[in-house]
Amino acid sequence: MVISRNTAFTYRKKTVDTKQIGRELSVRYILEGSVRRLGKQVRINAQLIDAQTDTHLWAERFDSSVEGLFTLQDEITNWIAKALNVELVAAEAARPVEHLDALDCILRGRAVSTKSRSPAALDEAIGWYERALALDPASPEAQARLAVALVSRDQDFVPEPSDADIERAGPWRGKP
């Protein structure tokens, strides 16, 4: 889950424990950073923090001139997206799994949807995600992947959108 910038700004310039922010916003990870400018030079610092343990997972510094700011912004966005993927996958993989059968269903659904983007593959993936939710109804990954698959099926393969599928997608109704 990603929190909006406006919500995150409520903590700006306040001394609040990272664990407290994680609890209040119901987030596991926090990306924080700063931007400093001196003349025509810009320095951007970013760090990823595990909100449950208050552990820094990584930190990085970026330097550039203001003339290349838009290029730098794109580079930082790409770098952070790649780093988040690597760090979050590693961090989540290290966490103990309570429902191994549900995880197996999620992985099977991911494999099917990665292999093919056909209506039959989406239907099969939806079935796996539904089985995962039957085993672990609180699984955020199964909920999110089911929602994305339902919306994808409606947007990509159904001539008329299915209100039932879109309603089942819940809060993840945006484009996948």
Residues 140 and 168 in one domain: yes
Residues 58 and 74 in one domain: yes
Residues 89 and 110 in one domain: no
Instruction: Please state which of the ranges 28-32, 42-46, 63-67, 159-163 shows the lowest mean pLDDT.
Output: 159-163
Indicate the residue among 47, 68, 94 that finishes a domain: 94
Q: How many structural domains comprise the chain?
A: 2
Alpha carbon distance 110, 127 (integer Å): 11
Mean pLDDT, residues 30-52: 89
Residues 30 and 87 in one domain: yes
- Judged against a pLDDT cut of 90, whether residue 5 lies above it is answered with no
Q: Are 122 and 157 in contact (CB under 8 A)?
A: yes
Residue 31 is predicted with a pLDDT of: 84
Contacting residues for 61 by C-beta, under 8 A, at least 6 apart: 43, 44, 45
Residues 104 and 90 in one domain: no
Domain that holds residue 104: 100-172
Total number of residues shown for the chain: 176
Query: What pLDDT, in 10s, does the model give residues 114-149?
Result: 888 788 999 999 999 999 999 999 888 898 889 888
Residues 39 and 82 in one domain: yes
DSSP secondary structure of 66-129: GGGHHHHHHHHHHHHHHHHHHHHHHHHHHS--S-HHHHHHHHHHHHHHHH--SHHHHHHHHHHH
H helix runs in 119-175, sequence order? 119-135, 140-157, 163-169
- Judged against a pLDDT cut of 80, whether residue 172 lies above it is answered with no
Alpha carbon distance 106, 109 (integer Å): 5
Indicate the residue among 94, 126, 155 that finishes a domain: 94
Mean pLDDT, residues 100-116: 90
**pTM for the complete prediction?**
0.49
Residue 173 is predicted with a pLDDT of: 45
Residue 88 is predicted with a pLDDT of: 67
Q: Which residue has the higher pLDDT, 102 or 164?
A: 102
Indicate the residue among 42, 73, 94 that finishes a domain: 94
- Judged against a pLDDT cut of 90, whether residue 38 lies above it is answered with yes
Q: What count of other Cβ atoms lies within 10 Å of the Cβ of residue 13?
A: 5
Residues 130 and 156 in one domain: yes
Residues 25 and 85 in one domain: yes
CATH number of the domain encompassing residue 114: 1.25.40
Residues 83 and 138 in one domain: no
